[in-house]
Amino acid sequence: MPWQKQSGTAPCSPKAIKCEIVEGNHYFPPDSVKRQYFKPSTNHTTCPWKGEASYYDVEVNGQINKDAAWYYPGPKDAAKHIAGYVAFWKGVKVE
């Protein structure tokens, strides 16, 4: 998932990262995410087997991509391996 860079910024550092791939989504380890680009969202969704997902708005150079990243802070047992890992959508590309 390449990120559409703006002025050389990216929401995470993909170099030598061990991502987890679940249902075609790449989940990035929490320590690879550049937190300065993330703002907590109030949005939550529920997956029947992973549990409740929380979302982040991704903000780069003043442009906000609402709910463009999500994670499972307390996933169900079947998804424990992605606890806290961050995935992207809505046009976010990580390269």
23-40: pLDDT as tens digits: 989 899 998 888 899 999
Element (H, E) at 83: none
Element (H, E) at 58: strand 51-60
57 lies in which domain range?
1-7+32-95
Residue 62 lies in a domain: yes
Stronger pLDDT, 44 or 8, i.e. the higher one? 44
Residue 64: partners with Cβ closer than 8 Å, 6 or more residues away: 39, 57, 58
88, pLDDT greater than 80: yes
Question: Residue 61 sits in a domain of what CATH number?
Answer: 2.170.150.40
> What's the CA gap between 50 and 48, in Å, rounded?
6
Q: Enter the pTM of the model.
A: 0.81
User: Does residue 45 contact residue 64 with C-beta atoms inside 8 Å?
Assistant: no
Residue 60 lies in a domain: yes
